[in-house]
Every structure is written in C-alpha cells, then in structure tokens.
Amino acid sequence: ARQAPDILSAEFAADPYPAYRVLREEEPLFWHEAMRSYVVSRYEDVERVFKDRRAEFTTDNYSWQLEPVHGRTILQLDGREHAVRRALVAPAFRGADLQEKFLPVIERNSRELVDAFRGKGSADIVGDYATRFPVNVIADMLGLDRADRSRFHGWYTTVIAFLGNLTGDPEVTAAGERTRVEFAEYMIPVIRERRADPGDDLLSVLCAAEVDGVRMSDEDIKAFCSLLLAAGGETTDKAIASILANLLAHPDQLAAVREDRALIAAAFAETLRYTPPVHMIMRQSATEVEFSGGVVPAGATVTCLIGAANRDTRRYRDPDRFDIFRDDLSTTSAFSAAADHLAFALGRHFCVGALLAKAEVETGLNHLLDALPDLRLADGFDPVERGVFTRGPQSLPVRFTPTPA
C-alpha cells in the first residue's frame, strides 16, 4: 500500500491541507504507527465521533494527554459524572454572567492592549495582542490579583508547550509537571479565600455552584482553571490572529466587514471552518466501530482531523476558499451544539466557552478595526500558519496610521 502522508512531519506542519485532501479521498481511515492511533478525516466520520450517539467513545486518552499538567478536568469525564460537571460550570459562560459580568472584562482587556500600540504605527497582532488578550481575560474573570499576571502568563506558556510537545522532550514534560504543582500551590489558597469571602468573579461562582447536591472540590476547581489556560487561551488567541490574517488576505471581504460589523459573526464562523485553531482531537473506542473507511477495534485511539473534515467537499462547496458570504455554513448555530463546522467539536464535550470566544473575537476585531483605520500587513510579510495539534499564524506584523488612545 502507498504510504499515507505523515501528519507529524515538518512539511505537514507548514501546510497540512494538501495532505488532508489525500487522506479524505484515499485513506479516510488509517493507522498512524508513531501516534499509535487510527486517524479519520471525513466530515461524517469526525462528526460521528463527536456526537457519539451510540456511546462508542470515551475521553480516556486525556488521562495521559492532559492529566500530568492539569489534573483531572471536565474533559476526562464521561457519562453522568460529565453531565453533572458540565451543568456546574456551563452557566457561567452564557447568559447573564457572560453579558453583565464578563463582557466589561473583555472590553477593558482588549482596550488596554490596543491602547498600548495604537499610537506607534506598527504592531505584531500575535505577540502584542492575541497571545495576551484571552489569557488576561481569564485571569480577570477568575478575579486574580493583577500583580500575579506575569506568573499566570508563565504557566500559560509552559502548559501550551507541554500540550504541543510532539517529540516528548523530557525538559518540556518536566516543566509542565512542575507547573501543575506551582499552579495548585497558587490557586488552592485563592479558592479557599473565595469560599470564605465570595465576590462577583468566576472563581466565586464555581465555588458556589451546586447541582443535585454535588459541588466541586478545591482540586476540581483548580483543574478547571488550569484547563482554561489551554482551552480558553491558546484557542482564542489563534482564532483572533487567524480571523485577521484571513481578512487581510481577502481585502474585499475585509472592506465589507469594516463597513458592516454585523458580518464579523460570519467571518468568525468561516475562520473557524477554514482555519480552525484545534486540528486534532482524540478519543478511545469503547467498542468496535465501523467508519466509512473500515473498522476500528475496541480500545483503540482515534484521532479526528478537524482541519480536514472542515474542508470536506462532501459537506462544503469549494471548501478551500475563504468566503464569509458562503450560504452552506450556519453563522448562528455555529455557537451551539448544533454547529455545523467542527472547530468547537459537537455533542457532550462541545466547547463550553464558544460564546465567550465569540464575544472576545467580536470585541477584539471591532477594537482593532476602530483604532487602526488603515490596518495592513507589514511590507512583504506573508503570514505563516504553523502547528499540528493547534495551528495559527506565528506572527502578524501590521502597519497603520497612529491614532491617539
């Protein structure tokens, strides 16, 4: 048999889309020896894993992927235990809490960062904005002391490095495990303080949450906060850089968005389809499962290629084209478990922070477009996306006419 494209190679990391096409068409199910995993790439197969209507999959793989750095998070839970945990945490990320408490936090943090560079005439949207904004938002939502921000950012950096450690570099692994200890040493006393003296912040909300007589332990809350670094930080950071990179590469669509800001919702949904921040999600098969390309035995790891599924011609017309006006992608249902693109997954682990992410990206893009009126890429710069598990522009140097804060 012909060798399937190597989804861990440097060539693949530079541009996975040609390889995705080959996999979708010719090897819709294949065994990746180095990853010790089956890999699926068609929309219908990835959707089936995420929806998991027949309870064929578990997230047991996260016990080795996430546990060493985060502890036991909501992502490692299945069944009733997961449903209860989900009911405990989800209300904070939608409705009144999101609108009244956290929207002002989002606004303030975005503005602070934009104000720091709008007078300069140039900035790197990745380094000066995207990698800072969502992490700052999480720290403020949790009500952490702003004096501790640089430590929080340090943990963010080591967590991201741990999760992206494809080669298993032992120093990166050790740093991730140390972060788990340091993060606990920092967070557990803060959690105890909030239990004793609650405020208006997310941490106090999580401490008070109760469903069917169940509450979260200090360790549960700490693990959830740790997960937010990666789940809510790195993903949104990449989404912001990608939406801007995609629009800058399509000036007519950027002009349309500038003119009518209601189009940002469509630009965000299309960005998540076309260049999703998370490219690979894994599951464990609990039973034998039949996919379009063949059968996976029970007890196997299955890797879902979101970036490939989102460009499946069986699902989207002309999928390799970035088009915020396409009529085969829902822009409203894209933020519920009925979403059609797969960037937030689907089913019971569907991204709990999808609406928060949407609020951050919409606020952020509005601020950038308002403050930087003639925003353009730095001369000769061509944004390069990199990454295998998660993916986004590595830097995005831009120029603009300076404006006063």
List contacts with ligand HEM (CB under 6 A): 74-75, 86, 138, 227-228, 231-232, 235-236, 239, 277-278, 281, 343-345, 349, 351-353, 356-357
Min. distance of Cβ 106 from ligand HEM in angstroms? Answer: 10
CB of 402 to ligand HEM, least distance (A): 30
CA separation for the pair 83, 87 (Å, rounded): 6
* Residue found under tokens 């894993």: 49
Q: With both helix axes pointing from N to C terminus, report the angle between 235-248 and 133-141 in degrees, rounded to the nearest 10.
A: 140
Contact 178, 226 (CB under 8 A): no
Question: In angstroms, what is the minimal distance from the CB of 272 to ligand HEM?
Answer: 6
Nearest to 190 by CA among 235, 230, 143, 125: 143
**Pairing relation of β-strands 37-40 and 301-305?**
parallel
Nearer to ligand HEM, 263 or 400 (CB): 263
- Find the shortest distance in angstroms from Cβ 321 to ligand HEM: 21
* Strands 397-399 and 122-124, bridge-based pairing: antiparallel
Tell me whether residue 277 or residue 383 sits nearer to ligand HEM (CB atom).
277
Q: Smallest gap, in angstroms, from Cβ of residue 349 to ligand HEM?
A: 3
CB of 74 to ligand HEM, least distance (A): 4
Angle formed at CA 131 by CA 242 and CA 179, multiple of 5 degrees = 130
Between 330 and 403, whose beta carbon lies closer to ligand HEM? 330
Name the residue number minimizing CB distance to ligand HEM.
353
**Whose Cβ is closer to ligand HEM: residue 5's or residue 232's?**
232
- Residue number with CB closer to ligand HEM (106 or 190): 106
Min. distance of Cβ 369 from ligand HEM in angstroms?
19
Nearest approach, Cβ of residue 353 and ligand HEM (Å): 2
Buried b (16+ CB within 10 A) or exposed e, 315-330: bbeebeebbbebeebe
By beta-carbon proximity to ligand HEM, the closer residue of 235 and 253 is 235
Q: Which is nearer to ligand HEM, 75 or 144 (CB)?
A: 75
Least gap, CB of 158 to ligand HEM (angstroms)? 18
For residue 224, what are the contacts with CB-CB under 8 A and spacing of at least 6? 73, 74, 89, 206, 216
Side-chain-facing half-sphere of 191: CA atoms under 13 Å: 20
Closer residue to ligand HEM in complex, CB, 302/343: 343
38 DSSP β-pair partners? 31, 302
- Nearer Cβ to ligand HEM (118/225): 225
What is the Cα–Cα distance from 239 to 334, expressed in whole angstroms? 14
Q: Long-range contacts: 204-209, Cβ < 8 Å, 24+? A: 204/143, 205/91, 205/92, 205/97, 206/88, 206/89, 206/92, 209/88, 209/89, 209/91, 209/92
